[in-house]
Structure 1
Amino acid sequence: MAAGGGSASDPLFPPRAFSPQGRACLALGSPDGRVRAWDTQSGRLRHEYVPSAHLSATCTCLAWATGRPTKEGPQRKKRKSEAAESVEECDLLAIGTTVGSILLYSIVKGELQSKLTGGHDSKVNCVRWHQDNGCLYSCSEDKHIVEWGSQTCKVKCKWKGDSGGVSCLCVSPDGKMLLSAGRTIKLWDLETKEVYRQFTGHSTAVSSLMFITERPSSESQPFDGITGLYFLSGAVHDRLLSVWQVRSERKEKSAVISFTLTEAPIYVDLAVSENKEEPVKLAVVCRDGQLHIFEYILNGHCKKTITSTSIVQIATSGKDDGSVPTPIPILAVAFCSDKQSLLLVYGNTLQPVIERVSLKTSEPHICLVRDIQKNLTLKMKTPILKVKTPVVKSETKVLVPGIPGHSASVKSGSSGTPVSEGKRKPGDKEISIEEQLGAMDIDSMKAVRRGGLPQTDSFAVLLVQGLESNDKNILNKVFNTRKEKLIKNTVARLPVYSIVPLLHELTTRLQGHPFSALLMVRWLKAVFVLHASYLSTLPDLVPQLGTLYQLMENRVKSLQKLSRLHGKLYLLITQISASETRQDVTDVNQTAKLVYEEESSDEESEDEMMERDSDDNWEEEEEREEQDVSADKEINGDSDPDPGEESEEEEE
């Protein structure tokens, strides 16, 4: 029973898994999406599967399933060796991908059997087969666990496994429970899809889960599948392997046993004991390339951490010239059927070495000396092309590339044949280098007038050199330009691998002096306009541009407040300047320096003045006399209210 390890994101430790039938085959995934199957006995490559979308949907996890021999029609009688091979090779390999699909590859047929889609919309972290009903279980970064039907290739059930991504799965030996690991380890009932128990104890993502079944010593004792059941868990950055006990009466949430390691585990295999008195053998490959072997009897809780009984590593032998031995990393390990010998896989993933060894676990440190002299050669088929020399007449002008460029023509030689012709006849004289240079007719003065030869200190070259060497002087020289056209041309000529370092440098400078933001924004605009298609293909675009996005968001939020403050300051400054200008102006003298008066105003006679005064006084005296007469009449009662009656009496 083995727990596959590795990840497609780590090229040193890709996904790997041994076939369940006698460990006859080893499957290894690679970062380019290819899956290779190696024969563990001969060490030869048996199958290599290259998916159609292997570059965009790389392999993330592997899982073998033991299949049944297919019923064939009436054919020729097979040999015994062929029949044995057909029984051993009836295995199906499930391949999880980064896009959420699962591929089922048939080792017997050597072709893709089916493709499972529609269950996950993110990277598949782990796939596990059910040993009885043939169902497939998968978990993903989309927080869900999916149960697939291997015959229908459709989703049977889908449920949420955790609040975050689910990293690992494991099916119980009786096939009734399922372990899932995300932020916590959960034990699920496969019939009801309900959580039976939860376990906490790892701070990072769990990379391996394995059940350890302890069966009773006598057949008369009942086995309920829970009381004597343990499981093992290991995390990505944790140097401990924790053993948990599944019990119905005592619900302990902490680990009962902890195995200490030198580095984080990448591959785990164990040999389960059938008797209670026999120890459980555990083989763990660590990230540093060493193998730790543990032998321990599961008998309940243990407070102390268990150290390995033996540490195995492989190294090359030192040569006669005094060179130091080089360690060889161990990639995977598996117990053989006798539970005494081991299958060691070491070297590199492209061409691994598979060896069966018998180790004495009584020795605490074992170093195996192996000399690997396998040279990996990459062969490239180059097409053979027929080169034909064009026939050029003497009157034809041949243009040569370069600056001043395509305006210079090649002069013909003395024999009438152009210098640029590839073949030379036996009777022709060889032309010297001076004559060839003179025939090119490159006028340096004309080149200077037309803009000059291409310089090595162009902005694109300088920017790439400054980013690679982190030279602030070169970067300051490039970033201080204000010409929009020059900035666009420089960014357009940048190689693809310099785009992300340029964004990091611009983000760092934006966080500095505020004045630099005026210059850096122009460069950012050019990068986003010209290289938006490349940036959209980056898988880690959000972490790459997270700091820049937060910086821009904070500045946009403070823009409204700054605009208001700018308006108030502008009003204050204008009022202060206006008051200062008023104070600077001197008071104007309003008194007239010269007064001019007309002569007619002074020559008015005194008689006219007297006459005007007398006329005014006479009018005033008449008004006063009329008022006095009316007042006397009212007092004496002589006032006649109706003047019409008086006139009638006089007529009578």
Structure 2
Amino acid sequence: MAGTGTASCSARCRDAGETAAFAAGPPCAFSPGERRLLALSGPDGRLRVWETPSSRLQHEYVPSAHLSAACTCLAWAPPGAAGGRPSPGKEGPQRKKRKSEAVEASEQLDLLAIGTAVGSILLYSTIKGELQSKLNGHDSKINCVRWHQDNGCLYSCSDDKHIVEWNTQTCKVKCKWKGDNSSVSSLCISPDGKMLLSAGRSIKLWDLETKEVYRHFTGHATAISTLMFITARPPNENQPFDGITGLYFLSGAVHDRFLSVWQVRSERKEKNAVMTFSITDEPVHIDLTVSESKEEPVKLAVVCRDGQLHIFEQVLNGYCKKPLTAKCTIQIATPGEGGDSTPRPVPCLAATFCLDKESLLLVFGNSLQPIIERVPLDTTESHICLVRDVWKTLALTTEMAVTKVKTPIVNSEVKVLVPGIPGHSATMKSSSCRKENETKRKPGDKEESIEDRLGAMDIDVMKVKPSTGGLPKTDNYAVLLVQGLESNDPEILNKILQIRKDAEVKKTVARMPVHAVMPLLHELTKRLQGHPYSAAQMVRWLKFVLIIHASYLATLPDLVPQLGMLYQLMESRVKTLQKLSRLNGKLYLLITQVAALEQAQDGTDVKQTAKLVYEEESSEEGSDDEMAVEKDSDENWEEDDDEEEENDEREDISDNEQAMAVEKEINGDSDLDPENESEEE
């Protein structure tokens, strides 16, 4: 029973495909099982999936932000997790779907988890050839992603100090907890699926059910870069395998030339490593085989940053104080060129063991175009140098790919436009026409003149006139403007930018290539700061550039800093416009008043001196009499006042008498008797 349990755990660990990828090398991962596919991310940010038997490119995926969100780690999903393992409640409908498929989902390799530098995880489907989903839950760079063998969950760690357990069906966070006080660099799941190793400042063993730390392991001086479980039989075959006893794991650190092996035990909790492996440089890629019995050694393949591959074989049967050296070291080199017979080294990118454990898959060369080769494993020699002509192999592959390209048939009437700036390159006839002309030429014929050759390129020599200093046609304004911007020729720019007709300016701006828009805006900004007359002319060009090429300018990410000077210039002028308008109004009032006054004063001046003066003779005497009369009146002003008062009294009495008479007449009491009248008198 113990042997069966160990074998099953070994198979699980083997199918996980948990080959380590470090920051020192390109992220890469072999598919679990037969290692049929290799996922490799190059420096250009693209993900390429290669077939290992034929070294043929199967998939190429370019993320939308492949330069800003570069790939940092890769992990293949286990065969049963294609599309996400269904939950128990949805297992029935999923089975019906499997029956209609030609190939069972358990045998397919579909999902590939891609960790990025911005904190997102991409799930790429190799069957569909497209991005299936995107997981967002981290705030910083993803350092490691690992798939669970049983439930199809995905685990990830990041520089944000957290570990996240993902539900790949709903693409949501299932659980998130803090893994360390610093960034968590690596993860590894135990073969039984109950424990999780995380690497930060120290190595922690977590219980996945309770998310509690089971043990701590310390022993590396630098940041830990990788973790891998090594399952082995317990020392006593009668002892049942409980998932912890007899369980080993491997750890490596950055800038560390030693790989440590730790043992997980329940009764003894040693803090020291069981053994260490000595390597020549920082590890880049690691793969291992699991021993089926306690006598069978564990094989370890370590690719270092210096391009060497080290093979270790060791039986995990106890402590070893001295560091273990590699049993075999493999290097790859190219033969010398010409008279130089010195081979040149070729870096090894990755290596993995085949299912027979007697051969290796080597990946070497360039990460953009790697060479994958299967070589037999021979540990009898301590050092092996494989001479491979890398350039010849790549040339053969390129020629095979080029032969599959079909050349289109072009008629003689078709004109081929070469790429470039419009107007810089003239149209050329097809190559088939030139070949026909060459075949018609006989050995005795004379060589074609330059005029004939220019005529074959549709250029009429007689129509080419010497430059007279004037402006060319409107169709060529855009070409001249681009030439002036590229050569920074002020003479050409002055002639073109002095065009005043709006129709010509609009047509020139519309025919400009988009790569010349920003240089033109910079030139217009510089000229706007000059003379006001030239600024008024530049505004006309600026208006059409912003109207016609607005869609292109909106796509530029750094548009704001590039047009900052132009914006400030426009802002300052707009603020000054209000003040100038007020000043203009005041000056207009003053000028109109001054003009009206000048217009009034423009009439003929009238002489103010009198031509004739008439004076009376008695005017002087009369003046003396008047003065005397005035004096008399001043002296007798009191007498005059008394007389005036008496007159006023008399007038009042007469008024009263008249009123009484009127009343009597109204009442009928008229005094007819004259005696009465006399009495009254």
User: Taking structure 1 as the reference length, what is the TM-score of the superposition?
Assistant: 0.57
Could you list the per-position Cα deviations for residues 340-377 of structure 1 after superposition, in whole angstroms to 9, with x for gaps in the alignment? Answer: 11111111111111111112101100111111121598
Per the TM alignment, residue 268 of structure 1 is displaced from its structure 2 partner at its CA by 0.4
**What's the counterpart of residue 657 of structure 2?**
none
| CA distance in 1: counterparts of 2:488 and 2:459, whole angstroms | 33
1:233-272 residue pairs with structure 2 within 5 A? 233-272=251-290
| CA distance in 2: counterparts of 1:47 and 1:107, whole angstroms | 7
Could you list the per-position Cα deviations for residues 232-285 of structure 1 after superposition, in whole angstroms to 9, with x for gaps in the alignment? Answer: 011121111011111222212121211001001000000010111111100000
Q: How many residues align?
A: 411
For 1:107, the aligned partner's letter is T
Per the TM alignment, residue 439 of structure 1 is displaced from its structure 2 partner at its CA by 5.6
| CA distance in 2: counterparts of 1:32 and 1:347, whole angstroms | 16
1:144-293 residue pairs with structure 2 within 5 A? 144-216=162-234, 220-293=238-311
Q: 1:307 to 1:52 in 2, by over 3 A?
A: same
1:324 to 342, 347, 354: 342
1:116 to 129, 135, 148: 135
Are residue 28 (structure 1) and residue 46 (structure 2) matched? no
| CA distance in 2: counterparts of 1:26 and 1:199, whole angstroms | 32
Per the TM alignment, residue 317 of structure 1 is displaced from its structure 2 partner at its CA by 1.9
| CA distance in 2: counterparts of 1:73 and 1:175, whole angstroms | 27
Could you list the per-position Cα deviations for residues 381-426 of structure 1 after superposition, in whole angstroms to 9, with x for gaps in the alignment? Answer: 9x96499989xxxxxxxxxxxxxxxxxxxxxxxxxxxxxxx9764x
1:338 to 356, 361, 370: 356
| CA distance in 2: counterparts of 1:385 and 1:338, whole angstroms | 57
| CA distance in 2: counterparts of 1:352 and 1:16, whole angstroms | 12
Per the TM alignment, residue 217 of structure 1 is displaced from its structure 2 partner at its CA by 7.2
For 1:108, the aligned partner's letter is I
Q: 1:335 to 1:423 in 2, by over 3 A?
A: closer
Q: 1:430 to 1:350 in 2, by over 3 A?
A: same
Q: 1:384 to 1:423 in 2, by over 3 A?
A: closer
- Quick check: 1:270–1:335 contact (8 Å CA) kept in 2? yes
- Quick check: 2:153–2:166 contact (8 Å CA) kept in 1? yes
| CA distance in 2: counterparts of 1:89 and 1:230, whole angstroms | 30
**What's the counterpart of residue 78 of structure 2?**
66
1:142 to 156, 160, 165: 160
**What's the counterpart of residue 550 of structure 1?**
none
1:363-402 residue pairs with structure 2 within 5 A? 363-372=381-390, 373=392, 374-375=394-395, 385=417
- Quick check: 2:79–2:106 contact (8 Å CA) kept in 1? no
| CA distance in 2: counterparts of 1:176 and 1:532, whole angstroms | 58
1:14 to 22, 26, 43: 26
Identity %, equivalent residues: 64
Q: 1:532 to 1:147 in 2, by over 3 A?
A: farther
**What's the counterpart of residue 104 of structure 1?**
123
For 1:36, the aligned partner's letter is R
Q: Secondary structure at the match of 1:38?
A: strand
| CA distance in 2: counterparts of 1:305 and 1:275, whole angstroms | 24
- Quick check: 1:148–1:155 contact (8 Å CA) kept in 2? yes
| CA distance in 1: counterparts of 2:57 and 2:238, whole angstroms | 47
Q: Secondary structure at the match of 1:360?
A: coil
- Quick check: 1:21–1:66 contact (8 Å CA) kept in 2? no
**What's the counterpart of residue 590 of structure 1?**
none
Per the TM alignment, residue 531 of structure 1 is displaced from its structure 2 partner at its CA by 7.8
1:478-627 residue pairs with structure 2 within 5 A? none
**What's the counterpart of residue 297 of structure 1?**
315
Q: Secondary structure at the match of 1:57?
A: coil
Per the TM alignment, residue 56 of structure 1 is displaced from its structure 2 partner at its CA by 2.7
Q: 1:30 to 1:77 in 2, by over 3 A?
A: closer
Whose relative contact order is higher, 1 or 2, with alpha carbons under 8 Å and at least 6 apart?
Answer: 2
| CA distance in 2: counterparts of 1:76 and 1:190, whole angstroms | 36
- Once the two structures are overlaid, the 10-residue window that deviates more, 103-112 or 264-273, is 103-112
Q: 1:125 to 1:282 in 2, by over 3 A?
A: same
Q: 1:299 to 1:134 in 2, by over 3 A?
A: same
Per the TM alignment, residue 92 of structure 1 is displaced from its structure 2 partner at its CA by 1.6
| CA distance in 1: counterparts of 2:173 and 2:383, whole angstroms | 49
Per the TM alignment, residue 437 of structure 1 is displaced from its structure 2 partner at its CA by 7.7
Q: Secondary structure at the match of 2:170?
A: coil
**What's the counterpart of residue 49 of structure 2?**
37
**What's the counterpart of residue 349 of structure 1?**
367
**What's the counterpart of residue 632 of structure 2?**
none
Q: 1:205 to 1:3 in 2, by over 3 A?
A: farther
For 1:176, the aligned partner's letter is K
**What's the counterpart of residue 482 of structure 1?**
none
| CA distance in 2: counterparts of 1:139 and 1:384, whole angstroms | 54
- Quick check: 1:3–1:267 contact (8 Å CA) kept in 2? no
1:46 to 46, 58, 63: 58
| CA distance in 2: counterparts of 1:171 and 1:73, whole angstroms | 30
- Once the two structures are overlaid, the 10-residue window that deviates more, 147-156 or 176-185, is 147-156
Could you list the per-position Cα deviations for residues 6-44 of structure 1 after superposition, in whole angstroms to 9, with x for gaps in the alignment? Answer: 45x76xx21000111211111101233321111111111
**What's the counterpart of residue 609 of structure 2?**
none
User: Taking structure 2 as the reference length, what is the TM-score of the superposition?
Assistant: 0.55
**What's the counterpart of residue 533 of structure 2?**
none
Q: Secondary structure at the match of 1:152?
A: coil
Q: 1:194 to 1:76 in 2, by over 3 A?
A: closer
2:148 to 111, 118, 130: 130
| CA distance in 2: counterparts of 1:273 and 1:43, whole angstroms | 30
| CA distance in 1: counterparts of 2:51 and 2:128, whole angstroms | 16
For 1:359, the aligned partner's letter is L
**What's the counterpart of residue 535 of structure 2?**
none
- Quick check: 1:310–1:363 contact (8 Å CA) kept in 2? yes
| CA distance in 2: counterparts of 1:260 and 1:290, whole angstroms | 13
Could you list the per-position Cα deviations for residues 529-582 of structure 1 after superposition, in whole angstroms to 9, with x for gaps in the alignment? Answer: 96899xxxxxxxxxxxxxxxxxxxxxxxxxxxxxxxxxxxxxxxxxxxxxxxxx
Structure with greater helix percent: 2
Q: 1:430 to 1:4 in 2, by over 3 A?
A: same
Q: 1:29 to 1:438 in 2, by over 3 A?
A: same
Structure with bigger gyration radius: 2
Q: 1:253 to 1:123 in 2, by over 3 A?
A: same
| CA distance in 1: counterparts of 2:40 and 2:323, whole angstroms | 32
Could you list the per-position Cα deviations for residues 456-506 of structure 1 after superposition, in whole angstroms to 9, with x for gaps in the alignment? Answer: xxxxxxxxxxxxxxxxxxxxxxxxxxxxxxxx99xxxxxxxxxxxxxxxxx
| CA distance in 2: counterparts of 1:116 and 1:347, whole angstroms | 33
- Quick check: 1:19–1:91 contact (8 Å CA) kept in 2? no
Per the TM alignment, residue 141 of structure 1 is displaced from its structure 2 partner at its CA by 0.4
| CA distance in 2: counterparts of 1:284 and 1:129, whole angstroms | 22
- Quick check: 2:235–2:317 contact (8 Å CA) kept in 1? no
| CA distance in 1: counterparts of 2:563 and 2:384, whole angstroms | 54
Q: 1:389 to 1:233 in 2, by over 3 A?
A: closer
Per the TM alignment, residue 221 of structure 1 is displaced from its structure 2 partner at its CA by 2.7
Q: Secondary structure at the match of 2:59?
A: strand
Could you list the per-position Cα deviations for residues 304-355 of structure 1 after superposition, in whole angstroms to 9, with x for gaps in the alignment? Answer: 0000000001111234522421111111111111111111111111111111
Per the TM alignment, residue 51 of structure 1 is displaced from its structure 2 partner at its CA by 2.1
Query: Tell me, which stretches of 5 or more residues in structure 2 are unaligned?
Result: 1-13, 83-93, 408-414, 425-456, 472-486, 490-524, 527-559, 565-681
